[in-house]
Chain A
Amino acid sequence: MPAEPLLAIVIPVFRHSVLMAGAVESALAQEADFAIRIVIVNDGCPHPETHETGLAYARAYPERVTYLRKANGGLSSARNHGIAHVLAHLPTVRAIYMLDADNALRPLAMARAMAALQASDAGWIYPDIDMRGLTSGHDYSGPYSVLLHLAMNTCEAGSLVRREVFEAGVMFDTSFKAGFEDWDFFLSAVQAGFRGQNIEGMGFLYRKRPESMLADSEREREPILAKLRAKHRALFSPRAMLEMEAVEAPRYAFILADLNEVWLATDPLSPAEVLSPEDFALRLWRARAAPGRHPLPPLTVVTRSDALAEAAAAGMLHGLLWQLEVIADQAHVAGLVGVQGGADRLGLRLLPEGQRSADEAAVLMLATELVTSSAADAKGAWMGSLLGATPQPRVVLAQVTLPPALPVAALGQGGMAAALLAAIAGLRASPWARGAQIADWRAPDLKRRAASHMILRNRLGQQPTLPLLRGTGRHVGLVLSILEFGGVEKVALNLARAFAARGWAVHLVLVGVRDAAVSAEWRATLASVTFLGDPDYAPWGGGDRDYFGTEIPRWATSGNHARLIALLHWLDVVVDLHSGAGVAVMGQLKRQGVVTVTSLHLADLSAAGRPTGNPFLALAYEHAFDLFAPCSHALGDWLHALGIPEDKIVPVPNAPGFPLDPAQAESLQQARRDRPPGRLRALFLGRLDAQKGLQRLAEVIAQSRDLPVDWRVIGKAVLADGPLPEAISAVLEPALTTPEALTEALAAADVLVLLSEYEGLPLTVLEAMRQGVVPVATDVGAVAEVVQDGVTGVLLPFDQAVPACLAALRALTPDHLARLSANAAAAMQGRDWLAATAPLALALDRIAATRQPSADTDLPPPAHVAPLGAHDTEMERIDLTPPLWAALQSDEPARLHRYEPFAGFLQFGAPEGADVVLDLQPRRLRGQGRALSLTPEGRPQPWFTYELILDGAPLQDLIALDFRLRYALPRPRNLYAQFMLSGAGEQVTIDFGTLRGTDAGSPMTLTLALRQVAPEMRRSLARVRLVLSTDGEMLPLDLMEFSVEGRR
């Protein structure tokens, strides 16, 4: 044996004073054609025997064994001590093996490991683990995966580590006292650029006892994991994990029926591994035989390549795949059908189950495990029923709507259920299918490979993540609740354009709707459009807390935040544009490394004139935003006054909402100047709702009939505020949406009249001024920032708006008008979005340059995930409200006894023999409607219930019942809600949960998902009781609203 060792085995010893001999002997017994130095490190073991044994071996084998002794410092410290000795004194050693004192090696282990190390560029060689004591074999074979290593400790400390790893400064962290120091060590090696490699059957023997340090570390797993995540933040960042997933464990197998190919990819727009169906079959059965060794995409997508191309052309490909994953979580098979919609409408909604068949889908997604098990099933009847009238797998389809400009030729074509079954049949017929039943004897410890997509999901609250590889460049997300034709949407479009002009990729995320007006201008600007599709999401409403009078929406406190975070985490910048409840995720996004911005426009006014709305909500979530981007300097000042630090405020003053060629602007202005004096052309352009001061406008129009004024009112009612005043409807013209039509309308106007209740900085005013149209507007919001009274327009005092407007119209002589017009046009010179967003771009550069993820912990999974279609408005609804409640007009009081129904829909419950009665008093509410005051009398009981009864509902035809309630309590008490269903001797109870005392007074919807009841049972049930329990307190209750809707 050569004298110069090529390999060192470091054996730290603490308390294993006897067992260490086994480890040392197995090291001495190594059969290799190179020399091995054994370094025993006595880590201050309190047993003198350790010292004596170590010395004995050093004396007996002075050329082969080094014995070191040090003060106790823990396992990491002892290993480091031995490593440092080797590095300092054994320069010929090329690799170091860590052998714990209670483990052992088979004689060829080091020769094999060294050969593997020398034959590869791996940083370390790790073994399978054969356990002694608690006997078992564990297979860790297969390609090394960093992603998998983030989820589990895949590399045993008993690995052979290349010298260069230590020379790169990677050592064992001595602060890991409770275990997993090896996990930390190898992750450090990964961060230093090294990767591991398994060799099967290396010959590592692990002594497994019921109680061991490993058992301790499993108990301490969570705190240690938190420490690991904090230390290796860059690796654990979901963005980095997504990149790893794409390389190491592609999420989807795309079975492409048109190409007869299978693509393995996470992002189908990135390079994929392309397999023939036969090769895919081999891959699938190989993974079936050894799931820990052979990776396989965990999800299968059956479609055509042109369907993917059409979805990509619409910028919706990744969002659609993501949505299908969300669906596939709750159904066996998720599908997508495409339809052509109206002009500029993009939509994505769930179809009621059974409305369309699986074979009408252009894309199907399901767990690959289902594919495999169906292929392994000789008959395959379960999956085969997909083509039948009543498929056994639960199939949920989503429908994507694209505008005529985007084709749905492939997305509108079905046949994918048949394609799936054909693929399964092919897999079943594969020659490899039968052999896959024969597995290796070692347990596949890395079988998590089969669910590799869950590794990233676990970081993000178990939610699917967008399968989009970001590549290089800056990615900016715009989060909107809705996308129609409002001012905020126009600002969003112009921000998007300004960002895109800087070369940034802009992604639109719509959180509150399933259908939106994504015009050609939007589509030309955006890289992607994604719908959140959370049935629970509502921008406002349902909240039980307020911040200085502004409600914190319910979704902000109890929604499925993780789902939205999973959709946004990968972006560089997220701009929230009045999404309402969406602000709740911004803090988490910031911790994930996203720069968060809130784009603010105006405060709403409550009915009583109290300012409220998005700016106030943004104040409540100040910490969650890096930057506040108000649409005006005035709003910026307001934010600062209310506590936002100056550094965080970067105004992006509004500019005209659509571009206008300067030459055309000048030409139009010249035409205006050349126009001979005549009647004044007054224009109202905008949304027709109360905020815009319609009543005042109507008065002005009515009272200006004697003036030389011609009126045009152009717009559309967005909110139903009752019938339009006659003066307005008489001159009303349809809304204009294209820049050309708007330009034309403004060119034909002299003044723009805007008598709003409240405003931000209206784009219409800016667009009008650019064309020399003189604004006559109430002095609200930031209007005064651009309208200088008597210089660029006319500012009207809000409380005297009508007479002041009439006076201004009278006073606008041709000369005066021309002067104001010229000034207005001049004031708008150079006012564009690129300039407006320049300070914001600088601020984003500044923050992004130093932004690192700081999130150490996994997002918790949401406490509640809304069932598919729970609030799907497209589902047919039938009113099942008990007619006697609906017709209740009597003011007659009544006295009820236990379980004595009142008008067939209301009763109370108490223990038998309880001396309790209920006084019922109908009364009118101050506004509209009626209430039933229910006042129990009697001593407190062990339990007491109010029960709302629904009799004779066709439960077998329904999928859900929505009980809508509003009730008041004299004291803030929680009620516990249950649905009790009965009929034909059957009884089923379904708990709904606690109704918080603070919810009293607010409308609430209690949904009974009838899927929870077996269909055969549902046929027997005829009566549903909504039971509201007190804890026995005789609690009076005012029932103010009650209705029931069934969904089918």
Chain B
Amino acid sequence: MTETWSPLCLVPACDVGRAAWPMPVAVLGDDLAVSQDGRAVALSQIAVAVSLTAEGAALFDRLEAAQPGALQGIRHAGDPVAALVAALAHSQARVARQLRELAQLREMAERSLQSFQRLEAFVWQTSKGERTLVQHLAQEGSFALTRAVQRLPGDSAGLTDVAVWIGGARGVLTARLVLAESAEVVGLWQVTDPGEGWLRLALPRALSVDAQTPMLHLDWTGEPLTLGLSLPHPDPRFQCEGGAMLALKLWKFVPGVAAPMAPEAHGTEPGTGRWLMPLAAGPLTLTDETLTLRHPIPAGLRLAQVMVSAEGAVEMALTQGAPRWQPIGAEPVTLVLHDAAPGELLLMARAKGAATLYLDPVEGFAHAR
């Protein structure tokens, strides 16, 4: 049987009958033996030692002489209640100090959160927060998926997106991103009737700096679905099917930071998120003409905005229907579309004479701001 263990109050034998002791008591005998109900007790179990008389104090002195340091810091004299009250007061002072420290830490955490939010905003403004492709294992083969697990190469810190290659079929693909060490599920996606090609699964926020081993679990129900395989890997830990790894793409971003998703990506929570939709690479030149750039609207997008500037006489509109033209000059202007609906997003421009347009990627939001 496992013995019970609890902290004890050590009392000299001569003082035991002098008070009603408010906690379990061990007795120090004249022979310096420590016992509880006749059973020997280790000194390490003593939490506090209280003597009430000079005789009792002398017995403690003898114990300390025999075992130096045995009662260091836990010895009290006098009224046991007063001693315990004093100990309690000391303890409460410590609790109060810890509450104060907690308040300080909370304040620091709040400041960090604010700073972090501003840092996120700064990152978006300066880099448009594009997620970085860190791994691309091209598709070289395929197999019929029912269930598969792939250990992802690389650690989890900063991971934002995982893409797998699929053949396309009717059914439901469930993907779970699990951190092996903590067994935490950090991403869960359900994709219905996925089409052929790369299926990009995105997290709204890059995983934290707590580096762990990411594992992708895939389950399929529906018509037969092929899943893309990439190169064989000699280490069994990385093998998914027949010795090969899955065809994969991985993206990362600053750990812990929310980054806009690619428009083709599937988010973990439909109806939430933030997207980045590049419409054109580089400046565009127009001469007495109207240009329309189109982009499919990701599911859940409600608000879109794009920063534009131009050289020449240009009017532009961000719209899903009839354009509301807005003159654009050299100073950057943000075009906004509220209450976007599923379908296509149009960025239209018309120039009189020769003009050059400068476009940032379109940012999309799940909720109007």
List chain A positions with a Cβ less than 8 A from chain B. 3-5, 37, 44, 48-49, 51-52, 55-56, 58-59, 62, 66-71, 81, 85, 89-92, 106-108, 130, 135, 137, 200-203, 282, 285-286, 288-290, 293-294, 431-432, 434-436, 438-442
Chain A residues whose C-beta falls within 8 Å of the C-beta of B282 in the assembled complex: none
Residue of B nearest to A69 (CB): B44
Contact of A431 among B3, B180, B232 (CB under 8 A): B232
Would B213 and A58 count as touching, CB distance under 8 A? no
Q: Count how many pairs of residues, one from A and one from B, have CB atoms less than 8 Å apart in the complex.
A: 114
How far is B68's CA from A71's CA once the two chains are assembled, in angstroms? 8
Report A923 CB to chain B, min CB distance, Å. Answer: 76
Chain A residues whose C-beta falls within 8 Å of the C-beta of B155 in the assembled complex: 137, 441-442
How far is B233's CA from A289's CA once the two chains are assembled, in angstroms? 9
Chain B residues whose C-beta falls within 8 Å of the C-beta of A55 in the assembled complex: 7, 47
Report A82 CB to chain B, min CB distance, Å. Answer: 10
Contact of B182 among A81, A106, A288 (CB under 8 A): A106
Contact of A62 among B6, B231, B233, B238 (CB under 8 A): B6
Q: Does B91 contact A (CB under 8 A)?
A: yes
How far is B236's CA from A200's CA once the two chains are assembled, in angstroms? 13
Residue of B nearest to A434 (CB): B231
Q: Does B127 contact A (CB under 8 A)?
A: no
- 12 A-B pairs within 8 Å (CB atoms) are namely A4-B2, A62-B5, A71-B68, A90-B2, A90-B3, A91-B1, A106-B182, A135-B211, A201-B180, A289-B235, A435-B232, A439-B153
Would B5 and A203 count as touching, CB distance under 8 A? no
A-contacting residues, B140-189, CB 8 Å? 153-155, 180-183
A-contacting residues, B1-50, CB 8 Å? 1-3, 5-7, 42-47
Among the interface residues B7, B42, B74, B235, which one has the most CB atoms of the partner chain A within 10 A?
B235
Residue of B nearest to A132 (CB): B210
Given the known inter-chain contacts A58-B6, A435-B234, please indicate yes or no for A52 contacting B94, CB distance below 8 A: yes
Would A285 and B234 count as touching, CB distance under 8 A? yes
Would A85 and B154 count as touching, CB distance under 8 A? no
A-contacting residues, B173-222, CB 8 Å? 180-183, 209, 211-213
Would B69 and A44 count as touching, CB distance under 8 A? yes
Would B73 and A438 count as touching, CB distance under 8 A? no
Q: Does B118 contact A (CB under 8 A)?
A: no
Residue of B nearest to A128 (CB): B181
Would B211 and A438 count as touching, CB distance under 8 A? no
Chain B residues whose C-beta falls within 8 Å of the C-beta of A202 in the assembled complex: 181
Report A220 CB to chain B, min CB distance, Å. Answer: 28
Residue of A nearest to B74 (CB): A51
Would B6 and A71 count as touching, CB distance under 8 A? no
Residue of B nearest to A289 (CB): B235
Residue of A nearest to B151 (CB): A440
How far is B309's CA from A237's CA once the two chains are assembled, in angstroms? 78
Chain A residues whose C-beta falls within 8 Å of the C-beta of B154 in the assembled complex: 441
Report B8 CB to chain A, min CB distance, Å. Answer: 11
Chain A residues whose C-beta falls within 8 Å of the C-beta of B1 in the assembled complex: 4, 91
How far is B69's CA from A288's CA once the two chains are assembled, in angstroms? 56
Would A286 and B7 count as touching, CB distance under 8 A? no
Report B350 CB to chain A, min CB distance, Å. Answer: 50
Would B211 and A290 count as touching, CB distance under 8 A? no
Chain A residues whose C-beta falls within 8 Å of the C-beta of B91 in the assembled complex: 52, 56
Q: Does B237 contact A (CB under 8 A)?
A: yes
Would A435 and B2 count as touching, CB distance under 8 A? no
Chain B residues whose C-beta falls within 8 Å of the C-beta of A130 in the assembled complex: 181, 211-212
Report A378 CB to chain B, min CB distance, Å. Answer: 15
Interface size on B (CB < 8 Å)?
41
Report A40 CB to chain B, min CB distance, Å. Answer: 11
Chain B binding site: helix, strand, loop or mixed by DSSP?
loop
Chain B residues whose C-beta falls within 8 Å of the C-beta of A285 in the assembled complex: 234
Would A71 and B69 count as touching, CB distance under 8 A? yes
Among the interface residues B1, B2, B69, B243, which one has the most CB atoms of the partner chain A within 10 A?
B2
How far is B234's CA from A293's CA once the two chains are assembled, in angstroms? 12
Residue of B nearest to A282 (CB): B234
Q: Does B245 contact A (CB under 8 A)?
A: yes
Would A91 and B153 count as touching, CB distance under 8 A? no
Would B181 and A438 count as touching, CB distance under 8 A? no
How far is B235's CA from A68's CA once the two chains are assembled, in angstroms? 46
Contact of B234 among A5, A49, A71, A432 (CB under 8 A): A432
Would A108 and B182 count as touching, CB distance under 8 A? yes
Report A784 CB to chain B, min CB distance, Å. Answer: 75
Chain A residues whose C-beta falls within 8 Å of the C-beta of B237 in the assembled complex: 200, 440
Would B211 and A91 count as touching, CB distance under 8 A? no
Chain B residues whose C-beta falls within 8 Å of the C-beta of A37 in the assembled complex: 2
Contact of B231 among A5, A71, A81, A435 (CB under 8 A): A435
Chain A residues whose C-beta falls within 8 Å of the C-beta of B70 in the assembled complex: 71
Would B44 and A5 count as touching, CB distance under 8 A? no
Report B243 CB to chain A, min CB distance, Å. Answer: 8
Contact of A435 among B181, B183, B213, B238 (CB under 8 A): B238
Residue of B nearest to A286 (CB): B234
Contact of A51 among B43, B73, B235 (CB under 8 A): B73
How far is B234's CA from A288's CA once the two chains are assembled, in angstroms? 9
Chain A residues whose C-beta falls within 8 Å of the C-beta of B2 in the assembled complex: 3-5, 37, 89-92
How far is B179's CA from A108's CA once the two chains are assembled, in angstroms? 12
Would A48 and B68 count as touching, CB distance under 8 A? no
Report B206 CB to chain A, min CB distance, Å. Answer: 15
Would B69 and A436 count as touching, CB distance under 8 A? no
Chain B residues whose C-beta falls within 8 Å of the C-beta of A137 in the assembled complex: 155, 211
Chain A residues whose C-beta falls within 8 Å of the C-beta of B42 in the assembled complex: 68, 85
14 other A-B residue contacts (CB within 8 Å) besides A68-B44, A70-B44, A108-B182: A4-B1, A51-B74, A52-B91, A62-B6, A69-B44, A202-B181, A286-B235, A289-B233, A289-B235, A289-B238, A435-B231, A435-B232, A435-B235, A438-B137
Would A432 and B233 count as touching, CB distance under 8 A? yes
Report A154 CB to chain B, min CB distance, Å. Answer: 19
Report B46 CB to chain A, min CB distance, Å. Answer: 8
Would A108 and B183 count as touching, CB distance under 8 A? yes
Would A441 and B245 count as touching, CB distance under 8 A? no
Report A609 CB to chain B, min CB distance, Å. Answer: 73
Report A895 CB to chain B, min CB distance, Å. Answer: 77
Chain B residues whose C-beta falls within 8 Å of the C-beta of A434 in the assembled complex: 231-232
Chain A residues whose C-beta falls within 8 Å of the C-beta of B3 in the assembled complex: 89-90
Given the known inter-chain contacts A58-B7, A106-B182, A432-B233, please indicate yes or no for A135 contacting B238, CB distance below 8 A: no
Chain A residues whose C-beta falls within 8 Å of the C-beta of B7 in the assembled complex: 55, 58-59, 67
Would B233 and A68 count as touching, CB distance under 8 A? no
Contact of A438 among B69, B153, B180 (CB under 8 A): B153
Contact of B235 among A92, A106, A294 (CB under 8 A): A294
Among the interface residues B3, B68, B181, which one has the most CB atoms of the partner chain A within 10 A?
B181
Chain B residues whose C-beta falls within 8 Å of the C-beta of A290 in the assembled complex: 235
How far is B211's CA from A130's CA once the two chains are assembled, in angstroms? 8
Closest 6 CB pairs of A and B: A435-B233, A441-B155, A432-B234, A286-B234, A285-B234, A68-B44
Would B233 and A438 count as touching, CB distance under 8 A? yes
Would A438 and B44 count as touching, CB distance under 8 A? no
Report B159 CB to chain A, min CB distance, Å. Answer: 11
How far is B5's CA from A710's CA once the two chains are assembled, in angstroms? 106
Among the interface residues A69, A108, A436, which one has the most CB atoms of the partner chain B within 10 A?
A69
Given the known inter-chain contacts A135-B211, A203-B181, A432-B233, please indicate yes or no for A438 contacting B6, CB distance below 8 A: no
Chain B residues whose C-beta falls within 8 Å of the C-beta of A59 in the assembled complex: 7
Interface string of B42-61 (1 = CB under 8 A from A): 11111100000000000000
Would B235 and A201 count as touching, CB distance under 8 A? no
How far is B233's CA from A207's CA once the two chains are assembled, in angstroms? 33
A-contacting residues, B51-98, CB 8 Å? 68-70, 73-74, 90-91, 94
Residue of B nearest to A136 (CB): B211
Report B185 CB to chain A, min CB distance, Å. Answer: 13
How far is B233's CA from A434's CA once the two chains are assembled, in angstroms? 8
How far is B42's CA from A661's CA once the two chains are assembled, in angstroms? 82
Report B9 CB to chain A, min CB distance, Å. Answer: 12
Contact of B45 among A68, A92, A439, A442 (CB under 8 A): A68
Chain B residues whose C-beta falls within 8 Å of the C-beta of A4 in the assembled complex: 1-2
Residue of A nearest to B209 (CB): A135
How far is B236's CA from A285's CA once the two chains are assembled, in angstroms? 12
